[in-house]
Amino acid sequence: MNDEEKYTIEKVPDSSPVPEATATPEEEKRLVRKLDRRILPLTCLLYLFAFLDRSNIGNARLQGLPQEILGGDPTGLLFQWITSSFYFSYILCQVPATVLSKLFPPSYWMAGTAIGWGICSTLSAATFNFAGIICARVGIGIFEAGFGPAIPLYFSFFYTKEELGLRMGYWFGFAAVAGAFGGLIAFGVQNLDFGPPLQTHGAIGGESDWKILFLLEGIPAIILGIVTLFALPNRPESTRFFTEREREVALERGSRGGKADTGAVVNKSHIFAALSDWRVYAGGVIYFGVNCALASISAFLPTIITTFGYTNALAQILTVPPYVVAAIVLCTTAYYTDRLQSRGLAVAGACFVGTIGYLIVVLVPHNMHARYFAVFCITSGTYTAIGVTIAWFAHNLGSETKKATGIPVFMSIGQCGSVLGTHLYPTSDGPRYITGFATTCGLEALATICAIALYISYKQDNAKRDRLYGRPEPNAPVNTSELADKAPNFRYIA
């Protein structure tokens, strides 16, 4: 074990020692580059395979899975339950898993979750009936629940609020990369023809194509989890990844804007503060809307594109460009929200773009070019809104424990939208799927309104504190150990 921390649950004292030596700009740049080289490749690749393993079910649908283990599934209802079963376990486990993650070295925790979901995904290839695939999907959800919400908390250990948005953009951008990469893998597997072709229901490809897909996307997660165990840095105060000077610089950077509950501890009062914060639930409404869109995109985009008149194989390829554009838009937006230190309007704008995309799909049923353009709007708006929202709350909750509680709370609310999204596109509604598109359009519009409301609320709160307590010095340490984001000198990112 490479940490010397004591893992306890306790009330945190009012203050923590903060290094007095201020880092020079050159020292900070060197440290950030060192962190980026070690942290970003590992966490981004982990998320790539996490998202592949949760979303490859959509590609498997076109490769014979329903015909082979679901008796054809003529209504599409069985497939919907397979897709949503992941989200049931994911939702239930997020909050306890993220709070619990504070009590373990991050490398151990992240490695364990990756190995767990990789094993479950790999075992999906061995399933032979509805019950088996449901069990595998529930297992993937349990392990991924300990990974996704813990990443914003982990990033906040090392990156300042001026750096966090872009890093979260890179990280969540790999969900879009996974969508593109998954389409390419599915196309390749389908055309390699590993088994005798299916003749039922017009399916294309060998009967083992979906099994090969699960193996190709599950085994790398297990390997990457083992690498993570040895390569991912732990907390700044304990990791051996830093020299002593780098540790001082990292701890000083971490004290800017808020400093509380450092180490493997849980501040119980901040758990209740997060659960009673209305803004967490407003964030949950935003996340509900965009996750409803994300889940439907992940599971049904290949199917939806086939309704444009394309073959199954070409539909797999045509899912790639929208995801690539979404990743570029997300990273670009995240960069500018870091520079401007404002995220609310960016979230609102992204949700609005997604709303327009769904409106086009609903109102323009016969122009396939316009509908395909709308897919770009939907993916770009949805992925950007999710990535920037996570970065928004990763600072605005004030303390580690409140982040460890509040982030998975609003994510759990949002994942309920994912469950809804997986049930909005029954086969009987094809080829237009008006109910699904119209519902998601309305939810994206609601998310737009909530983002604007949160932006105004944060601006007003900051202005009120400026009037009462004066403007704090930029990047000055703020003791949030007692009040979290309610500390007088704490300022929100609007």
Q: Model confidence over 35-76: pLDDT tens digits?
A: 999 999 999 999 989 988 887 887 788 778 888 888 888 887
When the pLDDT of each residue in the chain is averaged and rounded to a whole number, the result is: 84
Q: Specify the pLDDT at position 144.
A: 94
Hey, which residues does 262 pair with through a beta bridge? none
Question: For residue range 106-122, what is the model confidence (pLDDT) as tens digits?
Answer: 999 999 999 999 999 99
* Cα distance between residue 57 and residue 79, in whole Å: 9
Quick check: 297 pLDDT over 50? yes
Backbone angles phi, psi at 117, to 5 degrees: -70, -30
Phi-psi region of 438 (alpha: psi -120 to 50; beta: other; left: phi over 0): alpha
| The two three-digit tokens of residue 171, written as one number | 């990280």
Q: Quick: pLDDT tens for 222-273.
A: 999 999 999 999 998 888 898 899 988 888 887 776 655 566 678 888 999 9
Confidence of residue 15 (pLDDT cuts 50, 70, 90): very low
**Confidence at residue 191, expressed as pLDDT on a 0 to 100 scale:** 72
C-alpha distances in Å from residue 486, one per residue of 155, 156, 402, 456, 480: 22, 18, 11, 17, 8
Residue pair 12/138 in contact by the 8 Å Cβ criterion: no
For the ranges 210-214, 282-286, 303-307, 314-318, the one whose mean pLDDT is highest: 282-286
Instruction: For the beta carbon of residue 314, count every other beta carbon within 10 angstroms.
Output: 13
| H runs (alpha helix) in 364-430 | 368-396, 400-421
pLDDT tens track for 464-478: 999 999 998 877 788
433-437's contacts with Cβ under 8 Å and 24+ in sequence apart are 433/304, 433/307, 434/362, 436/296, 436/300, 437/358, 437/361, 437/362
50, with CB counted inside 10 A (0-12, 13-18, 19+), is buried
The torsion angle over the Cα atoms of residues 442, 447, 449 and 452, rounded to 10 degrees, is: -160
pTM for the complete prediction?
A: 0.82
The answer on pLDDT for 463 being more than 60 is yes
- Pick the most confident of 146-160, 343-357, 362-376, 404-418: 343-357
265-493: CATH architecture: Up-down Bundle (1.20)
Mean pLDDT, residues 437-456 taken together? 95
pLDDT of 115 reads 97
Q: pLDDT band at 314, cuts 50/70/90?
A: confident
**Strand-pair partners of 259:** 479
Token pair of 311, please?
């073959």
Q: Give the integer Cα–Cα distance in Å for 285 and 449.
A: 10
The 10s digit of each residue's pLDDT in 389-401 is: 999 998 899 888 8
Is the pLDDT at 211 greater than 90? The verdict is no
Distance CA 390, CA 164 (A): 10
Q: Which amino acid makes up residue 451? A: A
Could you tell me how far CA 485 lies from the centroid of its own chain? 23
Return all residues near 218 (Cβ < 8 A) that are at least 6 apart. 53, 118, 119, 120, 121, 122, 123, 124, 125
**CA-to-CA distance for 257 and 104, rounded, in angstroms?**
25
Instruction: State yes or no: cis peptide before 431, omega within 30 of 0.
Output: yes
Judging by beta carbons within 10 Å of its beta carbon (0-12, 13-18, 19+), is residue 132 exposed, middle or buried? middle
Q: How far apart are alpha carbons 211 and 126 in whole angstroms?
A: 7
Q: What is the DSSP letter of 13?
A: P
The answer to which of 323-332, 403-412, 425-434 has the lowest mean pLDDT is: 425-434
Calculate the CA 369 to chain-centre distance: 30
Residue ranges, comma separated, of all CATH 1.20.1250.20 domains in the chain are 25-256, 265-493
Cα–Cα dist 297/437, whole Å: 11
pLDDT of 14 over the 50 cut: no
Give the homologous superfamily in CATH for domain 25-256.
MFS general substrate transporter like domains (1.20.1250.20)
The answer, yes or no, to whether residue 276 has pLDDT greater than 60, is yes
